[in-house]
């Protein structure tokens, strides 16, 4: 089965991406299948189509079920390890139909994979997936994510994790352009729960949904144009953790950054060292400036330019675990989203500030200088965010589906 969809979009470039997908099936009595449903794949295909890209997912083979895919404990490799039958490399050698063909990625929907702790001990990771950064291999491993008594993950978890792991193949990390590498002692290090990176690439939103969790955490009102399944478009404002102004919040709405129940004052807080339930659980990490990042403008498919040899021994990105998700569920903080094939966004978020310019892009970094200019030509569903102050622009002709949000005591006259 091959799925592909192409819609018109304002994307800078339209590309075609290709994934061959195999899935494990446990044929024993009472066994289960890791085959993703058609809607799971369609949701991810649609996510790319909304940006003008074509994503082709070739659902190929049902393969032997293994409880854990093995890690090479000598060379500490995973995707290139082709020793025993339950290693990713051995399965790829046997089942991959597009080996050596440029422009293809290989994905296995598996059960679990083996990882190593700081003491060198191997253990079943419980992680949702693993992928090469800028490579061609990825795996979705939701065997510890229970859905309707089956160890396969929910449809949304499957779709979000596939898009997340494929994002790693396209060069995306857990924290946009920020530093979330292995060295947590660097002064600009951030954790993987960046609140103003609205993307399924961050742990904050991968399994919670971008739109759903932004609203639930009080970071955005409902009418701001976001989807649950998406990479970031780079539209949110920066957050300086050294001086967070609570009434300004995310600039989309005020936020209780120090978690004392009152939105008031300036505070120094670490926001990215929390968990899926939000920054109030933050317990480590230095303060820095958290920036959004236009991920869609920065995806790169290395399989189209690199040789097979260059696609080996690449860094890998282990991803959020079922234990992390379960801790959040135990707190009953936010409901997890239901999977749907989401419509493409038509609206935009436009910022208006007194120090903006008439030719601004309307972004936080390049705002417009007037409400009238922000509303002019705005597509349906656009949100116009207005800086505090008195705006004397006379009667405004507001399109029916353009929302004006003035959360910081702005007055329109």
Q: Is residue 344 part of a domain?
A: no
One domain, residues 189 and 319? no
Enclosing H/E stretch for 17: strand 16-25
Q: How many Cβ atoms from other residues are within 10 Å of residue 65's Cβ?
A: 19
Q: Is residue 142 part of a domain?
A: yes
One domain, residues 166 and 72? yes
Per-residue pLDDT, 7: 32
* Rounded-to-integer distance, Cα 26 and Cα 17, Å: 29
* Rounded-to-integer distance, Cα 52 and Cα 58, Å: 19
Nearest of 328, 341, 322 to residue 155 by alpha carbon: 341
Say how many domains are in the chain: 3
One domain, residues 46 and 132? yes
Per-residue pLDDT, 321: 86
CATH code: domain of residue 129 = 3.40.390
Q: What is the pTM of this model?
A: 0.92
One domain, residues 133 and 10? yes
One domain, residues 230 and 277? yes
Q: Are 104 and 136 in contact (CB under 8 A)?
A: yes
Per-residue pLDDT, 333: 67
One domain, residues 319 and 407? no
Domain, as residue range, for 206: 182-297
* Rounded-to-integer distance, Cα 41 and Cα 38, Å: 5
One domain, residues 97 and 66? yes
- Here the tokens at position 211 are 């739109």
Nearest of 233, 282, 220, 312 to residue 51 by alpha carbon: 233
Per-residue pLDDT, 126: 93
Per-residue pLDDT, 76: 92
One domain, residues 27 and 102? yes
Q: What is the pLDDT along the chain (413 residues), one digit of tens a residue?
A: 433 333 333 445 799 999 999 999 999 998 999 999 999 999 999 999 999 999 999 999 999 999 999 999 999 999 999 999 999 999 999 999 999 999 999 999 999 999 998 888 899 999 999 999 999 999 999 999 999 999 999 999 999 999 999 999 999 999 999 988 766 667 778 888 899 999 999 999 999 999 999 999 999 988 889 999 999 999 999 999 999 999 889 999 899 999 999 999 999 988 888 777 788 876 667 789 999 999 999 999 999 999 999 999 999 988 888 887 776 555 556 788 999 999 999 888 999 988 999 988 999 889 999 888 888 888 888 888 888 777 777 666 665 556 666 554 454 54
- CA 358 and chain centroid, separation: 33
Q: Are 116 and 122 in contact (CB under 8 A)?
A: yes
Q: Are 228 and 210 in contact (CB under 8 A)?
A: yes
Q: Are 412 and 386 in contact (CB under 8 A)?
A: yes
Q: Quick check: helix, strand or coil at residue 285?
A: coil
Query: pLDDT tens, 318-354?
Result: 888 888 777 655 555 678 899 999 999 988 899 998 8
Q: Are 49 and 341 in contact (CB under 8 A)?
A: no
Per-residue pLDDT, 140: 98
- Here the tokens at position 40 are 């799971």
One domain, residues 205 and 285? yes
* Rounded-to-integer distance, Cα 217 and Cα 256, Å: 10
Give bridge partners of residue 104 from the DSSP assignment: 18
């Amino acid at each position: 089965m091959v799925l592909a969809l192409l819609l018109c979009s304002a994307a800078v470039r339209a590309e075609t991406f290709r994934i061959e997908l195999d899935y494990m099936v446990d044929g024993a009595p009472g066994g289960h299948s890791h085959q993703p449903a058609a809607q799971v794949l369609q949701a991810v295909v649609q996510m790319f189509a909304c940006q003008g890209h074509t994503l082709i997912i070739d659902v190929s083979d049902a393969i032997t079920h293994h409880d854990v895919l093995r890690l090479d404990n000598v060379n500490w490799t995973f995707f290139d390890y082709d020793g025993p039958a339950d290693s990713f490399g051995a399965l790829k050698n046997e089942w991959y139909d597009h080996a050596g063909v440029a422009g293809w990625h290989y994905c296995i929907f598996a059960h679990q994979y083996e990882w190593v702790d700081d003491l060198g001990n191997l253990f079943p990771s419980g992680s949702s997936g693993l992928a090469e950064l800028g490579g061609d291999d990825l795996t979705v491993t939701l065997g510890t994510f229970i859905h309707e008594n089956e160890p396969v993950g929910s449809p949304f978890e499957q779709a979000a994790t596939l898009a997340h792991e494929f994002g790693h193949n396209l060069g995306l990390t857990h924290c946009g352009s920020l530093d979330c590498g292995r060295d947590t002692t660097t002064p600009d290090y951030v954790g993987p729960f960046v609140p103003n990176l609205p993307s399924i690439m961050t742990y904050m939103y991968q399994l919670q949904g971008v739109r759903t969790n932004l609203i639930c955490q009080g970071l955005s009102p409902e009418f701001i144009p976001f989807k649950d399944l998406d990479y970031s478009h780079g539209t949110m404002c920066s957050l300086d953790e050294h001086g967070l102004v609570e009434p300004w919040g995310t600039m989309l709405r005020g936020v209780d950054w120090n978690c004392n129940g009152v939105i008031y004052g300036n505070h120094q807080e670490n926001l990215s060292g929390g968990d899926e339930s939000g920054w109030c659980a933050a317990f480590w990490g230095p303060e820095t400036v958290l920036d959004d990042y236009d991920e869609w403008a920065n995806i790169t498919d290395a399989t189209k330019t690199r040789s097979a040899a260059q696609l080996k021994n690449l860094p890998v990105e282990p991803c959020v675990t079922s234990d992390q998700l379960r801790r959040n569920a135990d707190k009953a903080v936010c409901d997890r989203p239901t999977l749907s094939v989401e419509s493409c966004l038509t609206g935009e978020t436009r910022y208006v500030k007194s120090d903006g310019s008439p030719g601004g892009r309307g972004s936080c970094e390049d705002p417009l200088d007037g409400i009238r200019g922000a509303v002019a030509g705005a597509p349906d569903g656009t949100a116009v965010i207005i800086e505090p102050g008195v705006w004397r622009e006379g009667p405004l002709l507001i399109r029916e589906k353009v929302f004006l949000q003035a959360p910081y005591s702005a007055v329109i006259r």
